Structure 1
Amino acid sequence: MFDFSIITSWVHGMLTSVMPLGLAVFIECVMVGVCLLLMYAVIAVVMIFMERKVCAAFQCRLGPVRVGFWGLLQVPADVLKMLTKEIITIRRSDKFLYNLAPYIVILASVLAFACLPVSKGLEVLDFNVGVFFLMAASSIGVVGILLAGWSSNNKYSLIGAMRSGAQMISYELSIGLSILTIIVLTDTMQFSEIVARQADGWFLFKGHIPALVAFVIYLIAGNAEVNRGPFDLPEAESELTAGYHTEYSGMHFGLFYVAEFVNLFIVAGVAATIFLGGWMPLHVAGWEGFNAVMDCIPGFVWFFGKAFFVVWLLMWIKWTFPRLRIDQILTLEWKYLVPIGLANLLLMVIVVVFKLHF
């Protein structure tokens, strides 16, 4: 497996050889930021196109086909249209908070996105409390959503924001319990270490029943965390027009739209990292030839393949089940997922203490 830290070390050595250390670090930070934002934008475009095609497949239709080959230019055309649309400011809104809210949401999304280990040695933020930082950074988005609903001076936006805030804060607990179950198994909160300890088998397979239960709870809670069907009540078109971003237009609406899709990828990327081995290839004990072939596939291909597989699962859920009521959403979390998650965490502790895992 190729280690990208060789390239990053070479770039750092080259820069420090021709300029002061402080300036070299500044240039490196700018380069990393530009690459991160480019990847963020590209993944957003891919996710939007994938959503439309998957939705079309489930509804027995074709989806975008007219703009470009197989509709590939439809999303770039929509992005261009969004960039040129006028940003309309509501007359009686809190203009400062109204304009600030989309950037808080996108900031939380970018910070969480930066935590994903794409390949060996290819991590932007990788430290010993990486999981804790990811949970903290992703929670900032709730603030942006609440500010958007309140500052718009619109009853539909406010109701959508309150629903979204209650839902996201509630389901963060189940996500935390699922991730904590794997932390108990690995004894680390560093993403690169979690991936490294799956070299001999992914946790979904070698973590016994608690890992499988945690994975299912994570998928359900992750879907609710990013306000996607059947948990998309905060944006219920039949009741709240567009929910918390009803009054937004132009690129401000585009920021909410992009953040929602990239947040879906972040949920899938974390699932791929902690349950499916991240950038680790698939190995089968005793199949040395098969394992050697799997090792030839680059780590980032494994990561993105697993992440987009989980994205497809979450889209499958969205376009299969009908929308839930708000009382059903909160009942599912507090009466079922939280107790099951706590019991599952205790079961994982027993598995680790008595060394019952593979």
Structure 2
Amino acid sequence: MKVHISMSHSLVGLFLVMTCLSCNMSKVWATTQQLEGRQHQKRSDKPIVKSIKSPDGDIIDCVHISHQPAFDHPLLENHTIQMRPSFYPLGLYDENNVESKMEPSSVPQLWHQKGRCPEDTIPIRRTKKAERYGKKRHRTIPNPTSAHPNQDDHRYEYAIIYTKGDVFYGAKGTINVWNPKVQEQDEYSTSQIWVIGGPREYLNAIEAGWHVMPSLYGDNKTRLFTFWTDPNTGNWWLQYGNRSPLGYWPSSLFSYLYDGASEVQWGGKVLNLNVNGQHTSTEMGSGHFSTDDARRASFIKNVQIVDRSNKLQTPPNGGEVMTQSACYDILNTYRGVFYYGGPGKNPNCP
């Protein structure tokens, strides 16, 4: 059994920013970079093959694939790296020749203007000092969650559709990407896909999509993100558009997702801190309600799941969750596409 998450996007306001080293920086900067690199390397104990500075100031460290921090996890101590999926869901490509349909795996990013990581290495964004020692950082790095109506933490606002009641081996969606405004430094806004397994108190979830999170990155740019909890491999793969898979989550990491998911969700999430007792004005999606002009509303289309026969299918009818429809809402066409989002605080959402 191979499990697969496939994601793509339409080109609407996309900012996928990572980091790299400028070749024209001064010796003073180089000395500082080398010092920071040695300190970072000592902390992480990972040999850095190359460092690249992005035009936006971020730094990417290129680390050999076998030395990536994921292998520090005790469950991956003797893990053998799988370089590509065993097979692909039927219907993912129009022809049987999967490899010929793929685009290069590298997604164009800002830091590529200054260089690329060598073969057999992976790029890791270097954590900035303010992010490592910031007093508020721990408050807003999200734990994987799902939009169950009985969720205890009411700070999270959702506008999602879901399907459950079967076993799912993958999920797909085409997300049109915006740059939602975030009111508070410690709030965030996401557009994403969830695959979920297990009871609420022992939830296993993988989340992938786009978010704006100032407390993590120090800016308001939209970035690709993934989160996860703690022959067929059972690994969960992430694919971006028609490109080669970006990577996978080994099945050994999960207690409930190792043999499939029990629920899949698509939609948006906002962290609402209710500053001064008022609802946040942090936007979801484009910041427009689902019933606004279709050219302005955020949507997810090509909504599909991978079923027991390894086929991509339109999901069986499920349901919707809107925690506060006056703030963020949904319009589901039930034809593999739905609209969602909203401005947050407004006269009907005080």
TM-score category of the 2 structures, normalised to the smaller one: under 0.3
TM-score, length of structure 2 as denominator length: 0.28
Higher helix share: 1
TM-score, length of structure 1 as denominator length: 0.28
Higher-Rg member (1/2): 1
